[in-house]
Amino acid sequence: MTKPVLAVTMGDPAGIGPEIAVKALLTREVYEWSRPFIIGDLSVIENALSFSGLNAAVNKISHPSEAQYNFGTIDVLDLGIIGGKEFKIGQVQALGGEAAFAYVKKSVELAMAGDADAVVTAPINKESLKAAHVPYIGHTEMYADMTGAKEEMTMFSILNLKIFFLTRHVGLAEACRLITKDRVLSGIDKSLQALRQLGYENPHLAVAGLNPHAGENGLFGREEVDAITPAVAEAKEKGLNVSGPVPADSVFHMARLGRFDAVLSLYHDQGHIAAKMMDFERTVSVTLGLPILRTSVDHGTAFDIAGRGQASAVSMIEALRVGAEYAKAGVKLA
């Protein structure tokens, strides 16, 4: 099968995105899986190569069809946003948010047109987006709106475990209010549907508890009694292979040992902490519910080390691998 074309957005140009993008695309094994190119700014990419002490040919393209896809040459679709403008690495600034948003828009355009088989994203900075008056808080919201997705969902792929998220970028109090029976049941359905599309014949999903000890039958909170347990019971009545609520302090460990194929995490940090404790660098985020395939690193812009050549590209390489694997398998998670 032809290797999938992967559009790599370089993220906020002031962060470590450009550095990890060039390091990943100078990893030979990446070209064994895929045909990758970077969407970004040529000047920023050349600077990243310089401060990282790397040598590579850079091929400026205006369309993926012009890319060489050869190890040792980095194909860059140059949007020319930074250019000669005043720009500082490692700082929040409107220009960084403006550029990061433009790279995402271009990736959507290409993927929706069928010119890229998947999109792989480097990190962006929420403060820079706000400074640029970008009307989105993060990647997922951008991709959902620009592709017309009705309801997106995030999945983490880490080692042999998949983690789904019922809620994401909301405050903890709001996340608790959002845990209703209907929402949990919908999350169960979507999670199991995604697992089946990923090749699991009869996936076993665990739903994490919200409160200590999964609430102890209402002793430590009502969410399990009023929403989570009834949703799990209804799912079981429908013949779905689901367990829960399982106390959050043990459910991820149990899944890692193989008792469950995946876990439905109820809020952002519940699943993020578990995944990153397992293997911070190899945690890959996959956005479900889109008409295009999108994977991403699961770390931030790391402004504190940006421009020093110290950033690890392991997570970006893993995001490319997962993107290529799912693209080759024809996985459609919408």
Residues 178-225: tens digit of each pLDDT: 999 999 999 999 899 889 888 888 999 999 999 888 867 877 888 888
Within a 13 Å sphere around the CA of 125, how many CA atoms are in the beta-carbon half?
A: 26
Average pLDDT score over residue span 261-285: 88
Q: Say if 5-149+290-328 and 160-273 have the same CATH topology.
A: yes
pLDDT at residue 334, as a whole number: 63
> How far apart are alpha carbons 266 and 218 in whole angstroms?
17
Which pLDDT belongs to residue 298? 82
Give the CA-trace dihedral at 273, 314, 32, 287, to 10 degrees.
Answer: 30
CA neighbor of 164 nearest in space, from 224, 251, 281: 251
Average pLDDT over residues 128-147: 93
Task: Write the pLDDT tens digit of every residue in 225-236.
Answer: 889 999 999 999
Strand order in the sheet with 5-9: 57-61, 73-78, 35-40, 5-9, 118-121, 294-297, 284-288, 153-158, 161-165, 262-265, 205-208, 242-246
At residue 287, the 3 state secondary structure works out as strand
Closest by Cα among 111, 118, 186, 116 to 151:
186
What span, in angstroms and rounded, lies between the C-alpha atoms of 41 and 58? 11
| Closest among 100, 98, 111 to 7, alpha carbons compared | 111
The answer to whether 293 touches 327, Cβ cutoff 8 Å, is yes
Q: Rg for the chain (alpha carbons), in Å?
A: 20
Q: How many CA atoms lie within 13 A of 155 on its CB side?
A: 29
- In this structure, whether the domain defined by 5-149+290-328 belongs to CATH 3.40.50.300 is answered with no
Residue range 160-273 forms a domain whose CATH class is alpha beta
Q: What is the pLDDT of residue 151?
A: 75
Give yes or no for residue 22 having a pLDDT over 70: yes
Beta bridge partners of 242: 205
pLDDT digits (tens, 9 = 90+) for 62-108: 999 999 999 999 999 999 999 878 899 999 999 999 999 999 999 99
Q: Kindly list the domain boundaries of the chain, sorted by start residue.
A: 5-149+290-328, 160-273
Pull the structure tokens for residue 224.
């399990």
> What's the whole-number average pLDDT of the chain?
92
